Amino acid sequence: MSHETPDRLQPQPPLPIVIVGHVDHGKSTLIGRLLHDTGSLPDGKFEELRRQSDRRGVAFEWSFVMDAFQIERDQGITVDTSRIWFTSEHRDYVIIDAPGHKEFLKNMVTGAAGADAAILVIDAVQGVSEQTRRHAYLLSLLGVAQIVVTVNKMDLVGYSRQRFEAVAAEIRGYLANLDVVPETVIPIVARDGDNLTGAEAGEATAMPWWQGPSLVEALDGFRPRPALLDQPLRLPVQDIYRHGDSRIVVGRVESGRLRVGDSVSFSPGQQVARVQSIRSWGSPEHVSAAAGQAVALTLDDEIFVERGHIAAPPESPPQQDNVLQVRLFWLDEVPLEAGDRLIMKLATGRHTVFVQSLDRVIDIEDLKSGLADRVAQNGVAQVTLRSQSKVAFDPHDAIAATGRAVLVRNHRIVGGCVVEAAAQAAASRNLTSVPQTVSGEERALANGHRGGVLWLTGLSGSGKSTLAMALQRRLFERGQQVYVLDGDNVRQGLNRDLGFSPVERSENIRRIAEVARLFADSGTLVVTAFISPYREDRDIARDIIADGFREVYVEADLAICEERDPKGLYKRARAGEIADFTGISAPYEEPVSPDLRLDTGSLSVDAALTVLVEEIDRAFMTPRGERRAAG
């Protein structure tokens, strides 16, 4: 039989398709036979492969067409993705062959991430396997909604229509639970070419009952994804170069368009500049650039831009946050647990992230989800990740290129994820801020000072709490509104649910910063005394508190702190009684550019206190407050 091709199927750009399925279900055989039957093999390739098979004394297999590695032919396992051009009468394709073996799942994900459509191959004898379900779920996860299913090896079930319909019903049901409707499910024999091209569909005497389209006809009905040109500009920065006095921003336009004279913002931070020039390698200046082009830009302003930033229109920038809600697939043999530290590579950005929580772990077999304390190899879960630095991203269903990421541990790819939303944004979607009836200016006028935060950081024993409490007394006696947030006090109440792992330390600091911001907004001078060992966490606190934040490094050598050891903690840490103790078994990252540095190894408490009071007077005091303090 033949199927008329719709008028819309005129020559089009190549359509990238991924071919997935369980090991030994016949993907490589399908590709080899498809290339041969459509005349897409290079001249003489088929004859060459036959001669090679004869020399090696093995039977010819169609899988030899694209199994590029000798190890694959010997072991019968495809270990990497391969890209092959394929042409029908109506369209060019880029075939991405993705491995089916679970050990090579990450290559399947890599291939599927770049595909507009997919062929899911199922063995008629084995039926819908666990790996079939996993591949189907990952296609859905990555946004590949155009799927044609082939039930292969129909000859091994006697070309049984009943068996085909049973397998087709099972896979349709599973895909329906993923909100995916396949274009069609087709019975095939890849080895013999049955139902692969239009000529054979329905005419193969072995399956006269099949009246549907051939595989090629089904593929020709697929549409490319919406044009990237129609999406907002996204240009992840690959690198920054200097050429004479010019600074050149290099990257690839992932979506949208860019013209000389356009204003662009770079996230995170949303620093704005205007594009002065656009160049590409070995070419003169361009007036514009579009999705898919690698370009070098010069800007009209020396704003801060670095690798990992994303250029976008100022009116429609990507989101930016430290806490992300993601759907994650885990590939490592070592299970993923809450508190684990990973590297997340999103576009050109590289971010240190901690697993804040495992929110839902999904059973691939029945798609039920529930709570669990770990994600096993090849598992799928909804997870909250906390980054030490702000992450610029788009929800994956909006702009895929800036909404998916690779996860790395110990220099190995251990998983991947798609970003659904900023976790805080998702949680607060139905919340509305309530404005205060007393302004900050009114509070400052009444108190004689503005609200603000002195963030004291340093090793245990450096003198943070001693200085904080002494400063509180001094300011109170001057008639100022002041309160101390001390590490031990906060952990006994607000943060008593947190331990001392890196992710819990980060959450501890975030909560404290939010509380300190509220105190400062009320007009109070807040003095915090926390080790806060990570620079990124202190930077997050600065972002939360904003203009009223002052970082004070209470500096003392480790030897001095151990000698003081007011709580006996160093002695216990040295004895192995306390795990993750800063300075002994956990790191302390010194501030690079603190607002104030106090060397308590050489300064007395009174001398250090004098410096702190001078800083407060300079940063927060109003003229009325200065007169009050002087009087």
Which residue out of 82, 460, 465, 532 is catalytically annotated?
A: 532
For residue 246, the SS3 value is strand
Dihedrals phi, psi of 578, to nearest 5 degrees:
-125, 120
Question: 3-class SS at 36?
Answer: helix
How far is 138 from 146, CA to CA, in rounded Å?
A: 13
Beta-bridge mates of residue 457: 553
Q: Which amino acid is at 454?
A: L
What are the percentages of helix, strand and coil residues in the chain, rounded to 5? 30, 30, 40
Which contacts of 271-275 are long-range, i.e. CB under 8 A and separated by 24 or more positions? 271/303, 271/304, 271/305, 272/303, 272/314, 273/299, 273/300, 273/301, 273/303, 274/299, 274/300, 274/301, 275/299, 275/300
What sign does the CA torsion over 28, 30, 36, 38 have? Answer: negative
Please give the single-letter amino acid code of residue 332.
D
Q: Are 82 and 68 in contact (CB under 8 A)?
A: yes
Give residue 59's pLDDT.
Answer: 58
Active site residue 532: yes
Q: Which residues lie below 8 Å from residue 430, measured CB to CB, with a gap of 6+?
A: none
Mapped onto helix, strand or coil, the DSSP state of residue 279 is: strand
H or E stretch including 421?
strand 412-422
pLDDT < 50 regions, the chain:
1-11, 68-82, 100-104, 200-204, 428
Neighbouring C-beta atoms of residue 575, cutoff 10 Å:
8
Tokens of 88: 């029908």
**Helix (H), strand (E), coil (C) string for 458-517:** CCCCCCHHHHHHHHHHHHHHCCCCEEEEEHHHHHHCCCCCCCCCHHHHHHHHHHHHHHHH
Give the alpha-carbon dihedral of 67, 70, 76, 77, to 10 degrees: -70
Decide: 143 and 400 in contact? Cβ < 8 Å.
Answer: yes
Reported as half-sphere exposure (CB side, CA atoms, 13 A), residue 567 has a value of 11
What pLDDT shows up at residue 565? 85
Is 149:184 a contact under the CB 8 Å cutoff? yes
Q: Which residues of 563-572 are buried (b: 16+ CB within 10 A; e: fewer)?
A: ebbeeebbee
C-alpha 427/C-alpha 49 separation (Å) is: 58
Query: Which tokens go with 504?
Result: 């819990």
Q: What is the pLDDT of residue 612?
A: 95
105-113 and 130-141 are packed helices; what angle lies between their axes, rounded to 10 degrees?
30
pLDDT of residue 436: 81
Per the CB < 8 A criterion, the answer to whether 175 and 437 are in contact is no
C-alpha span between 366 and 203 (Å, rounded): 37
pTM: 0.59
Tallying the residues shown for the chain, one arrives at 631
pLDDT, one tens digit per residue, over 300-314 is 988 888 999 999 999
Measure the CA–CA gap between 350 and 388, rounded to whole angstroms.
11
Strands 147-152 vs 117-123: parallel, antiparallel or unpaired: parallel
Model pLDDT, residue 535: 86
Residue 405 φ then ψ, to 5°: -145, 160
User: pLDDT value at position 157?
Assistant: 95
CA distance 530 to 527: 10
Question: Residue 526 class from Cβ within 10 Å (0-12 exposed, 13-18 middle, 19+ buried)?
Answer: buried
Kindly report the three-state secondary structure assignment for every residue of 293-316: CEEEEEECCCCCCCCCCEEECCCC
Tokens representing residue 140 in the block: 């859905």
Which residues, including other chains, have CB under 8 Å from residue 138's CB and lie 6 or more apart?
105, 108, 109, 112, 329, 380
